Structure 1
Amino acid sequence: MSQSRGKIFVVGAGIAGLSTAWALTRRGFSVEVFEQGAIPNPRASSYDEHRITRHAYGTLEGYGYLMPRAFALYDELFADIGARHFLPGSVVYFMRDDVDWYEPVSRTMTAMGKRFFDIPLAEVPDRFPMIETDGLTRVVETEEGGMLFPIRILTDLTVWLGNQGVVFHSDARVSDIDPEAGTLVANGQTHRADRIVIAAGAWVNKLTSLVEDVVVPSRQALMYISAPTDMVDAWSKAPVMIDLGTDSGTYTLPPKNGTRLKIGDHVFTRQGDADGDRIATEADLARLNRAARLAYKDFDRYRVLERKICFYTTTRDASEEFQVRPLGSRAWVVSACSGHGFKLGPLIGDGVAAAIAGERSHEDMVRYAAGRMSLEEALALERAGT
């Protein structure tokens, strides 16, 4: 691998950091990754059994327009690591309240040529016997989504990067970053590079104040559960399911490809310290348990296998825009928001690498990552070769 393009430090070995390292390595940069724990780190938000990927983004239409490219870049990553850790399938949305979701989804999915259709409410009990039908107002199925398998992706990507010459610094707690000098201090030792990318997830505000006015860590509860025996077959055939009720809002990933059944909460707490524990308390789970009982029949018959906490960053307002910005003359900050980070990891990482390589303007990258481009603008940027 040629090192003529310079040395880049990446702080954080979650999907954002490793994807950025991947995209930089492909462009001929020398890359070193600093991670405060193991690589991959079981405490990282990225470290999970399965995550949803989809084209339907509700009112966040700009992210919907980015998803075809996001899927394509995952295919490129899978080709490099030699494994396709993705299970394609539909994503089904269950609406119980008057939510502002269908109209923007109809617009974006139609513009992208992606299929979606209503499921008659009368068919729901037979197709989805686990669903609580009381209060349902509409059910919509979208195609070309599915599940990503994060632990497998992170593990194989780490191996690939190491084989390409990327240098890993595990258990390296970064305490100071100088975005003008291109230096960082890890475990008391100073390191120098041409550029630094801060992709520290929920720890970002501990390393820089650049985005602290916009983003905040959010302690989020989820559960891995075991279905009642009479529901096992139904769950084995189930798609990804998202409940959009005001009180019943949940996301659920079925047990596929050796994973467990997982249910999580849509509502952001916007509180907590990322250095805290990863075990959900009864207080953490109170809202999720109430929502699950509204979304699923006889939810009390399910058995909890693991009560888990993960930490995202999310915006202080409701925008959920990625905060990807240049910092000083030699650094970038990459902060995903809510659960979007994993499905868009290679897309954002490739974009930041493109900006560092001079293939894309800083201004375009900031707008792109924030989902502020129309479909036409996003396509034009990709046609330009970036």
Structure 2
Amino acid sequence: MRVAVIGAGIAGLSTAWGLARRGVEVTLYEQGPIPNPLGASGDHHRIIRRAYGGHSGYQRRITDAYLAWDALWEDIGASHLVPCGFLLISQFPGDSADRMRQGLADLGDPYQTFPPDEAARRYPYLDQSSLSEVSFSAEGGALMCRMISTDLLAWLKRHGVTVRDHTRVAVVDHEAGRVTTATADSDRFDRIVVTAGAWVLGLAPDLAAELTPWRTAVAYAEPPADLADAWAASPVILDTGGAHSDGYILPPVRGAGLKFGTGKHRYESGPDQNRDVLPDEGAAILGHFSPPFARLGEYRVTDVVSCAYTFTADEHFLARRIGRSTVVSACSGHGYKFGAAVGLRVADAVLSGDDAALAAWIEARD
């Protein structure tokens, strides 16, 4: 069997890995370098966590995600997970962080909760006066995206995968199994897997009713000197609670910077439009984090990076069979942590033909 995988973000790399370790002949296409800084998987680090609030199906699947990452670490010979745990910062009862904590409680997942004074003592970057409570779980941390891509790409090349980076796919004939590049090179495959992230609609336009590309950005910042050690030892911050933040933060681990991101800072846009960073965009992102963080005016923005994602309306992942192709969208803002598991599941479906099992697992509605 010959399989083309289009898109070398974490879902595409992991699908190629899942197929290659089972002896399948794989060609991997990527329009830019690997890792591609314009892709959703091209940033320095992303969160893995067990808490999911109302998305309990994904909370249950985190165990599968950890098992898949363990298999990947064994194959590439290194772990790129920083197991620093995660925080949920609640500003008032019933806010988003409180709902996340309740999701942990409902499924019996471990966490501990601190009152405001103890939370501010443990995490001195917090503004005690804005806190209701803070919960910590050790079952989470940071996945180092660029390190994962680099080592996984090397593994793929060692195991016979044909890698065509800097090669944009222009057309996919899903019925015939034919891939045509922007330079008019054409090849036919038994199966095709499209994991093109925010660029997916260019190759599968019939999914426009289900998938919407969005543009967002994250800001890297340098904290005040007296808070640097606290941030260096910090867990990832999954949810900052309150009414207006929808924020998350990754600490400066393994050479990455202190990263701030928020779901409030986004708008609909094609993946190749609006990628330039605007003046004061970093300050606008940090503005969503006061409260519950103290002294944000003393932080210095060092970089701002635009990102492109594809979302479904309910932020569940998507898998659709179109002719010889399987189209996967697992980048709805929280897809990276499942990347290795998604790759193994897609590989299973390509080989078994069980598209229904793939859709049930990836959409996680149970």
TM-score range, shorter chain: over 0.9
Residue 15, structure 1, aligned to residue 10, structure 2: yes
- 206, 220, 225: which one pairs with 1:224? 220
Equivalent-residue separation in structure 2 for 1:314 and 1:287 (angstroms):
23
Equivalent-residue separation in structure 1 for 2:174 and 2:129 (angstroms):
55
Equivalent-residue separation in structure 2 for 1:235 and 1:14 (angstroms):
28
- Once the two structures are TM-superposed, the CA of residue 292 in structure 1 deviates from its matched residue by 2.1
Further displaced range: 339-348 or 16-25: 339-348
Further displaced range: 343-352 or 39-48: 39-48
Equivalent-residue separation in structure 2 for 1:268 and 1:307 (angstroms):
12
Match of 2:365 in 1: 372
**TM-score between both structures, scaled by the size of structure 2:** 0.94
Equivalent-residue separation in structure 1 for 2:10 and 2:186 (angstroms):
25
Match of 1:179 in 2: 174
Equivalent-residue separation in structure 2 for 1:134 and 1:152 (angstroms):
39
Equivalent-residue separation in structure 1 for 2:321 and 2:206 (angstroms):
9
- Once the two structures are TM-superposed, the CA of residue 348 in structure 1 deviates from its matched residue by 1.1
Compared CA separation, residues 307 and 103, structure 1 to 2 (3 A): closer
Match of 1:357 in 2: 351
- Once the two structures are TM-superposed, the CA of residue 281 in structure 1 deviates from its matched residue by 1.3
**TM-score between both structures, scaled by the size of structure 1:** 0.89
- 192, 199, 202: which one pairs with 1:206? 202
Equivalent-residue separation in structure 2 for 1:9 and 1:118 (angstroms):
47
Match of 1:167 in 2: 162
Match of 1:136 in 2: 131
Compared CA separation, residues 108 and 355, structure 1 to 2 (3 A): farther
The answer to whether the 8 A contact 1:218-1:268 is kept is: no
- 247, 250, 256: which one pairs with 2:247? 250
Residue pairs, 1:48-63, within 5 angstroms: 48-63=43-58
Equivalent-residue separation in structure 2 for 1:102 and 1:109 (angstroms):
11
Equivalent-residue separation in structure 2 for 1:206 and 1:372 (angstroms):
27
Listed one character per residue, the Cα deviations across residues 257-286 of structure 1 (whole Å, up to 9, x for unaligned) are: 221111111236241221135442147556
Compared CA separation, residues 306 and 138, structure 1 to 2 (3 A): same
The answer to whether the 8 A contact 2:46-2:145 is kept is: yes
Match of 1:384 in 2: none
- 291, 298, 301: which one pairs with 2:298? 301
- Once the two structures are TM-superposed, the CA of residue 136 in structure 1 deviates from its matched residue by 2.0
Match of 1:276 in 2: 273
Equivalent-residue separation in structure 2 for 1:258 and 1:285 (angstroms):
20
- Once the two structures are TM-superposed, the CA of residue 42 in structure 1 deviates from its matched residue by 2.1
- Once the two structures are TM-superposed, the CA of residue 138 in structure 1 deviates from its matched residue by 2.5
The answer to whether the 8 A contact 2:179-2:186 is kept is: yes
The answer to whether the 8 A contact 1:12-1:199 is kept is: yes
Equivalent-residue separation in structure 2 for 1:12 and 1:122 (angstroms):
47
- 67, 78, 84: which one pairs with 1:83? 78
The answer to whether the 8 A contact 1:65-1:108 is kept is: no
SS of the residue 1:210 aligns to: helix
Q: Match for 1:26: what amino acid?
A: R
Residue pairs, 1:137-156, within 5 angstroms: 137-156=132-151
SS of the residue 1:232 aligns to: helix
SS of the residue 1:39 aligns to: coil
Residue 346, structure 1, aligned to residue 340, structure 2: yes
Match of 2:59 in 1: 64
Equivalent-residue separation in structure 2 for 1:236 and 1:161 (angstroms):
33
SS of the residue 1:349 aligns to: helix
Instruction: Let me know the Cα RMSD of the aligned residues.
Output: 1.8
Listed one character per residue, the Cα deviations across residues 119-177 of structure 1 (whole Å, up to 9, x for unaligned) are: 11221221111112333222111221111100000000000000000001122111111
- Where structure 2 has 5 or more consecutive residues not aligned to the other structure, the ranges are none
Q: Match for 2:357: what amino acid?
A: D
The answer to whether the 8 A contact 1:216-1:314 is kept is: yes
- Percent sequence identity over matched residues? 36
Q: Match for 1:341: what amino acid?
A: G
Match of 1:74 in 2: 69
Equivalent-residue separation in structure 1 for 2:301 and 2:103 (angstroms):
39
